[in-house]
């Protein structure tokens, strides 16, 4: 064995086992979420004291449990998951039965749950992929996107294509938005279109499964465990955080990769500070590419969210800074929506880094 062979063996071992771990984690997460949805629906239909909670049931559940990630929004998603995929009940029961027996967990996990599922969910006619494949081949984040498709045949089409080509969630969303289902229906050579589509797709990787908000919460990890798109971007954000804090000028660090949930969709603001002198949040987005109007729209989206949902009485409107790099040439864009008062604008210019300082920072790091 030579050195190159050694490195290849190490990398192969890592890749295979990481993939195996990702699949195991995802299967557990998917089953848990389906069961939570099942328990909620069962209580809503048959609970002895269901009338006591009524429309506030999910709010009360979220308050009563200490489990990370059981927000009202997520509980709604789990309930919808159960309603959208009731036919996987038998597959869930089969996996649970094997797991409970192999782990000797009969005292910890009520076997009556498994028996109830086995009795209630018999094998039925299906549209789309096998129930076991829903659990084993699609990540829960894939399923969240698929649940948004109300038409069963259309959803089944994307299930099949997604599992066949091993699409990432990003790729699944792109294909839905590009009307692949409709284009396939109009195409005379559907196989040729499928081959063309999948030649250009982004394949699913283990880290795509592990580094999702649902998995992070399931494993009770910090949000910092979420990995950004590239090592360069991560390094830039890390250094920018230190750069701004060292400047002083009232910057107080609040969050990195700040997670924002809007309409069941997760977004991440690169850096969020609160400036005690300006009395406002400062949201910073850093892009390792040339400036486009989409970058400005994204930052403006975050600013409007902070203005409506985060800003407190006595605060000034949030300020956004957008940094973009392109082969050493630097574009620094400010989004200063809401800074209409002249006094505040002057104060803003004094206490935030100047364009020159940010330009020098980008040129030095990138």
Q: What DSSP designation does 282 have?
A: E
Could you tell me the residue range of the domain that residue 177 belongs to? Answer: 3-210
Q: What is the pLDDT of residue 296?
A: 81
Do 254 and 350 lie in one domain? The reply is: yes
Contacts of 186 (CB under 8 A, 6+ apart): none
Residue 217 within any structural domain of the chain: no
Residue 221 within any structural domain of the chain: no
Q: What is the pLDDT of residue 222?
A: 63
Q: What is the pLDDT of residue 225?
A: 54
Task: Read off the pLDDT of residues 164-183 as tens digits, 9 standing for 90 and up.
Answer: 888 888 889 888 988 888 88
Q: Write down which residue in 180, 210, 240 finishes a domain.
A: 210
Residue 222 within any structural domain of the chain: no
Per-block mean pLDDT, blocks of 10 residues, the chain (366 long): 83 85 88 92 86 86 86 91 89 74 53 62 64 89 93 91 87 88 81 73 73 78 56 67 74 85 83 88 82 82 90 89 70 60 53 74 65
Residue 342 within any structural domain of the chain: yes
Contacts of 154 (CB under 8 A, 6+ apart): 181
Residue 191 within any structural domain of the chain: yes
Domain total for the chain?
2
Q: Write down which residue in 210, 239, 266 finishes a domain.
A: 210
Q: Residue 311 maps to which CATH number? A: 3.40.1350
Residue 202 within any structural domain of the chain: yes
Do 25 and 172 lie in one domain? The reply is: yes
Residue 281 within any structural domain of the chain: yes
Do 184 and 245 lie in one domain? The reply is: no
CA dihedral of 236, 240, 243, 246, whole degrees rounded to 10: -130
Taking Cα atoms as reference points, which of 65, 170, 76, 87 lies closest to residue 134? 87
Q: Write down which residue in 151, 179, 210 finishes a domain.
A: 210
Taking Cα atoms as reference points, which of 42, 38, 79 lies closest to residue 58? 79
Do 188 and 269 lie in one domain? The reply is: no
Q: What is the pLDDT of residue 34?
A: 93
Residue 101 within any structural domain of the chain: yes
Do 42 and 70 lie in one domain? The reply is: yes
Model confidence, pTM: 0.67
Q: What is the pLDDT of residue 144?
A: 93
Do 258 and 301 lie in one domain? The reply is: yes
Contacts of 315 (CB under 8 A, 6+ apart): 279, 280, 281
Looking only at the bridges linking them, the beta strands covering 329-335 and 251-262 are unpaired
Q: What is the pLDDT of residue 230?
A: 55
Taking Cα atoms as reference points, which of 361, 364, 363, 339 lies closest to residue 350? 339
Do 340 and 291 lie in one domain? The reply is: yes
Do 39 and 152 lie in one domain? The reply is: yes
**What sections of the chain are H helices per DSSP?**
3-46, 50-53, 57-64, 72-84, 89-102, 111-120, 131-136, 140-147, 152-165, 169-177, 180-186, 190-199, 206-210, 213-218, 231-247, 293-305, 342-351, 355-365
Do 193 and 266 lie in one domain? The reply is: no
Q: What is the pLDDT of residue 215?
A: 80
Q: Which helix (H) or strand (E) holds 287?
A: strand 280-287
Do 81 and 206 lie in one domain? The reply is: yes
Do 72 and 107 lie in one domain? The reply is: yes
Do 38 and 182 lie in one domain? The reply is: yes
Query: In whole angstroms, how far apart are CA 196 and each of 95, 165, 184, 236, 315?
Result: 36, 12, 11, 36, 52
């Amino acid at each position: 064995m030579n050195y190159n062979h050694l490195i290849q063996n190490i990398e192969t071992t890592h890749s295979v086992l990481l993939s195996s771990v990702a699949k195991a984690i995802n299967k557990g997460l998917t089953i848990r979420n389906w069961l939570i949805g099942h328990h909620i629906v069962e209580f809503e239909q048959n609970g002895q004291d269901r009338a006591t909670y009524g429309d506030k049931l999910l709010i009360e559940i979220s308050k009563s449990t200490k489990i990370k990630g059981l927000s009202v929004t997520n509980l709604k998603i789990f309930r919808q998951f159960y309603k959208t995929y009731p036919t996987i009940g038998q597959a869930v029961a089969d996996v649970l039965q094997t797991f409970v027996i192999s782990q000797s967990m009969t005292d910890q996990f009520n076997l009556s749950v498994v028996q109830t599922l086995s009795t209630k969910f018999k094998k039925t006619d299906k549209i789309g992929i096998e129930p076991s494949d829903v659990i084993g081949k699609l990540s829960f984040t894939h399923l969240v996107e698929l649940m948004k498709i109300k038409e069963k045949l259309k959803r089944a089409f994307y299930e099949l294509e997604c599992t066949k080509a091993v699409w990432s969630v990003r790729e699944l969303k792109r294909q839905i938005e590009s009307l692949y289902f409709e284009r396939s229906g109009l195409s005379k050579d559907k196989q040729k279109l499928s081959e063309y589509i999948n030649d250009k797709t982004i394949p699913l990787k283990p880290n795509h499964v592990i580094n999702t908000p649902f998995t992070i919460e399931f494993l009770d990890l910090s949000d910092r465990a979420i990995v950004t798109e590239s090592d360069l971007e991560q390094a830039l954000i890390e250094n920018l955080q230190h750069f701004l804090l060292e400047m002083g000028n009232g910057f107080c660090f609040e969050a990195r990769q700040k997670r924002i949930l809007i309409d069941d969709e997760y977004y991440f603001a690169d850096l969020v500070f609160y400036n005690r002198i300006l009395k406002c949040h400062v949201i910073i987005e850093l892009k390792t590419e040339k400036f486009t109007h989409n970058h400005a729209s994204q930052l403006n989206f975050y600013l409007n969210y902070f203005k409506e949902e985060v800003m407190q009485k006595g605060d000034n409107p949030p300020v956004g800074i957008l940094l973009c790099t392109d082969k050493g040439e630097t574009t620094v864009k400010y989004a200063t929506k809401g800074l209409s008062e002249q006094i505040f604008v002057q104060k803003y210019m004094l206490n935030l880094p100047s364009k020159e300082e940010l330009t020098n920072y980008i040129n030095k790091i990138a």
